[in-house]
């Protein structure tokens, strides 16, 4: 394919979400990359939601919509069709499962050549008429971020095969090692001997943050947990602390953090205690900063940490196992060398590798 022709092709990313998280960060990374490569990128967002994250990106235009719509919303379907017919993209990308049907249907009506859907977490894809149309008749492809998730889809439904299901690992740039650091000990008036365990994400049950009091209760008194991320609707922060007053002074909720590099520089160890997860971006970031890691055995973490080579893996909801892992690292019974952690990113999970494979899938 001629490179001049390739650079002229446009891309529409549908991301009409009310929450900003790992998937949305990857949308921004892909939009930025393709815009800088000379592609025209349109990002569809809900009105007054997250447009500021895309400001100043080359060749990236925000399209605001007021309503996301369900599977049978003909009004949204028609509007998507009219928009796609006008801009004539080569590819549409729908990174949220809720949008798969409407985006695929509208893109097919508008004769968009390439329809890419994304699944970042283990979900059940029902063997119903809707997905039969999406995959068998409208020929949509699915992108996943781990081999374990790919195997799950291949084994759990007959819609998927090697020609419509693709695995591309999430990737990041190695962060700058020097720079601003959050001095949590000073901010929270903790002693210099305090050991800081960081965790990040929406405060919800899927992330396992309701287990934090039980985990910290099993740890030495000088160990503290620093959580960054917005409150979720499933866990009430005040109620959680009120019900666990004996450890409330050792769990610190710092709300949303805009500078995650400063967060990682300010902690000693990173904890992922999720019950369900794909391949969590924050785990990549923790590796990039060379931090020791304790993670539950959610599929993406097992793969990213190479079954324990780059971090301690525990059973899901095993608070004793999680606490023991933290103790082992704190007491230097288990040591993870910073340079080895970072090499995992540069060798297998680099942003350059992710984008090269994404471009191949999208435009070739």
pLDDT in tens, 306-333: 999 999 999 999 999 999 999 999 999 9
If one compares 67 and 83, the residue with the highest pLDDT of the two is 83
**Burial annotation 194-230 (CB, 10 A radius, 16+ → b, else e):** bbbbbbbbbbbeebbbbbbbebbebbeeebbbbbbbe
Instruction: pLDDT band for 111, please (50, 70, 90 cuts).
Output: very high
Instruction: pLDDT band for 8, please (50, 70, 90 cuts).
Output: low
Mean pLDDT of 253-258: 88
Distance CA 105, CA 94 (A): 12
Nearest to 81 by CA among 103, 55, 53, 63: 103
- pLDDT tens by residue, 210-227: 999 999 999 999 999 999
In this predicted structure, what is the pLDDT of residue 1?
Answer: 35
- The answer for residues whose C-beta is within 8 angstroms of residue 195's C-beta and 6 or more apart is 220, 222, 223, 224, 268, 269, 330
pLDDT value at 234 more than 90: no
Q: Which of 78-82, 277-281, 345-349, 351-355 has the lowest mean pLDDT?
A: 277-281
Mean pLDDT of 13-18: 93
Residue 333's φ and ψ, nearest 5 degrees, are: -75, -25
Write the CA distances from 157 to 1, 21, 53, 95, 135, integer angstroms.
34, 28, 36, 20, 11
If one compares 5 and 49, the residue with the highest pLDDT of the two is 49
- pLDDT tens by residue, 260-296: 999 999 999 999 999 988 788 899 999 999 999 999 9
In this predicted structure, what is the pLDDT of residue 20?
Answer: 82
Mean pLDDT of 118-123: 86
If one compares 55 and 127, the residue with the highest pLDDT of the two is 55
Instruction: pLDDT band for 157, please (50, 70, 90 cuts).
Output: confident
Q: What is the pTM of this model?
A: 0.85
pLDDT value at 6 more than 50: no
Q: Spell out the domains of the chain, with CATH numbers in brackets.
A: 3-171+351-363 (3.40.50.2000), 184-348 (3.40.50.2000)
Instruction: List the structure tokens of 113.
Output: 């050549």
In this predicted structure, what is the pLDDT of residue 7?
Answer: 41
H-helix or E-strand containing 96? none
pLDDT value at 58 more than 70: yes
In this predicted structure, what is the pLDDT of residue 2?
Answer: 40
Q: Which residues pair with 166 in a beta bridge?
A: 143
């Amino acid at each position: 394919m001629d490179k001049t022709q390739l650079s002229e092709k446009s891309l529409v990313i549908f991301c009409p979400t009310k929450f900003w998280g790992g998937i949305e960060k990857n949308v921004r990374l892909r939009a930025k990359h393709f815009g800088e490569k000379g592609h025209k990128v349109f990002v569809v967002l809900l009105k007054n939601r997250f447009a500021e994250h895309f400001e100043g990106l080359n060749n990236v235009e925000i399209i605001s919509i007021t309503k996301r719509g369900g599977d049978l919303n003909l009004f949204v379907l028609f509007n998507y069709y009219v928009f796609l017919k006008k801009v004539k993209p080569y590819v549409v990308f729908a990174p949220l499962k809720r949008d798969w049907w409407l985006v695929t249907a509208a893109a097919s009506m508008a004769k968009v050549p390439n329809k890419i859907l994304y699944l970042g977490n283990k979900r059940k894809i029902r063997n119903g008429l809707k997905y039969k149309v999406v995959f068998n008749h409208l020929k949509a492809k699915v992108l996943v971020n781990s081999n374990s998730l790919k195997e799950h889809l291949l084994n759990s439904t007959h819609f998927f095969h090697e020609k419509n299901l693709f695995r591309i690992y999430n990737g990041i740039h190695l962060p700058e090692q020097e720079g601003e650091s959050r001095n949590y000990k000073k901010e929270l008036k903790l002693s210099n001997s305090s050991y800081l365990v960081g965790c990040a994400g929406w405060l919800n049950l899927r992330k396992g943050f309701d287990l934090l009091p039980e985990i910290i209760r099993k740890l030495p008194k000088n160990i503290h947990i620093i959580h960054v991320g917005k409150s979720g609707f499933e866990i009430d922060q005040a109620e959680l602390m009120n019900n666990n007053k004996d450890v409330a002074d050792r769990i610190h909720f710092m709300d949303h953090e805009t500078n995650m590099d400063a967060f990682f520089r300010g902690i000693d160890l990173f904890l992922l205690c999720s019950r369900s997860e794909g391949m969590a971006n924050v785990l990549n970031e923790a590796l990039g900063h060379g931090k020791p890691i304790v993670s539950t055995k959610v599929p993406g973490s097992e793969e990213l940490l190479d079954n324990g080579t780059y971090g301690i893996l525990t059973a899901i909801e095993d608070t004793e196992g999680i606490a023991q892992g933290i103790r082992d690292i704190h007491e230097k019974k288990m040591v993870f060398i910073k340079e080895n952690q970072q090499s995992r990113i540069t060798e297998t999970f680099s942003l350059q590798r992710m984008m090269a494979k994404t471009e191949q899938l999208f435009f070739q």
